[in-house]
Amino acid sequence: MLKQTKEQLQQLASEEKSIKTRLKTQKNNYENLGLVAEYLDGLLMRVNANKYLLQSNYTMELTGWIPAKQTEQLDQQIRQVAGKDYFLEFTEVKEEEYSQTPVLLKNHKLIKPFEGLVEMYSLPQYWELDPTPFMMPFYALAFGLMVADFGYGLLLFVAAALAKRFLHFKPGMKQNINMFQIGAVPTMMWGLVYGNIFGKQFSFQLLSTDSDITEILVMSVAFGFIQIMFGLGLKFYLLWRRENEKIKALFQAGSWMFFLISVAMIAAGMVLVPETALQTVGIVCLSISLVMIVIGGSFDGNTLVGKIGSGLYSIMDLTNYLSDLISYTRLMALGVAGGSIGAAFNLILSYLPTPARFTIGIVLFIGLHGLNIFLSYLSAYVHGIRLQYLEFFNKFYTGGGRAFKPFKSNESYVQVISEEKQQQGEE
């Protein structure tokens, strides 16, 4: 049996080699094979779509979703095929259909590249706000803060521009490249603030990563404070616009905003203006906000005991908000770490003899800073996403929506461009 198995393995290996050889001969037919694959995929999609059709010998009925701006275009296309022998009706989405309605995000071209980050988390439900335009500026600024090197940012911006100019990418990959190119702008901006370029320091610095660590730390926490307050403001707005949720807006969102403002007043009274009554006012406001938080938490209980228990339990969220603020210290840590590593690499290279600096030193400079660039951007990408998902989204965002999937080819090998987009000059 072992001998037979070995013979079968040899036979399979020989067959695999033969198949690969034949496939190599088809290399010149790659485009035609792609067309065939796209065509067969389209046929398969049509077969699968039959389950959505009601059809008899004389009539057929089809129901589906379509973006409102494409209704006229659909009407024209059906008229071209069926003449006048059809009936087409469009209806607005009803409130009871919200849970089944698919979602298609629509944003400005500067914001659109960040939609992928929202899709990785979860699409908004039909009744929710799209968080992309609210998240985008915070993510881009945080991304820049965690790299904070003018040279690294300029290199990423130019590399992304060249890649889009000379290479062809699928729409999803192109959006990612656009996102990183946009993120390169605040990277250069914060690089100028810190005075860093490839680990070296400019003669002028608004903030120094060597001597202004405390100021950068405070700035990072203040950045987090603003974003968290903004998230709570969105929650307040979403609750306030509902008919019966205005009290919840005051006590479940407004109370936490009041709490954070009170904490900021106490901190300012202790550090900035210690000789004023600001700290005392902050303590009074903090006490009032805690009572409001308990009242807001009691709304989640069904019985009297449940309301008391849920109200008191809501106080436990204090630790969550404090940990959220502390999480933003990573903006300082990563920005300072990346600059320090780059400076360390430059220091190592400075010990090389002069002839070596312009030979092996150039290779080492590219390799070492290339490694630091990769680690810096990877850290900024991952930790930036974490701040949005855990510290920002959970303040106002539910998610759970399903994506709108149009009845069209998957465009794995062939991309279809409408005449309208072609006239607009889009590739």
> What pLDDT was estimated at residue 188?
95
Alpha-carbon Rg for the chain in angstroms: 29
| CA atoms of 197 and 130, how far apart (whole Å) | 36
| CA atoms of 263 and 377, how far apart (whole Å) | 33
pLDDT in tens, 296-344: 888 877 787 788 888 888 888 888 888 999 999 999 999 999 989 999 9
Q: Is the pLDDT of residue 211 over 80?
A: yes
| CA atoms of 184 and 186, how far apart (whole Å) | 6
The torsion of the CA quartet 392, 396, 401, 407, rounded to 10 degrees, works out to -70
pLDDT in tens, 358-378: 889 899 999 999 999 999 999
| Angle of CA points 231, 233, 239, to nearest 5° | 105
Query: Nearest-CA neighbor of 224 among 139, 160, 281, 282?
Result: 139
pLDDT range class, residue 190, cuts 50, 70, 90: very high
pLDDT range class, residue 13, cuts 50, 70, 90: very high
| CA atoms of 227 and 138, how far apart (whole Å) | 7
End-to-end CA distance of the chain: 59
Query: Nearest-CA neighbor of 120 among 101, 142, 138, 105?
Result: 105
**Which amino acid is it at 126?**
Y
Beta bridge partners of 123: 401
Q: Is the pLDDT of residue 202 over 90?
A: no
| CA atoms of 69 and 73, how far apart (whole Å) | 8
The torsion of the CA quartet 117, 234, 104, 164, rounded to 10 degrees, works out to -40
Q: Is the pLDDT of residue 414 over 80?
A: no
Q: What percent of the chain has pLDDT over 90?
A: 50
Which DSSP symbol is given to 167? S
Distances from the Cα of 241 to the Cα of 75, 238, 244, angstroms: 35, 6, 9
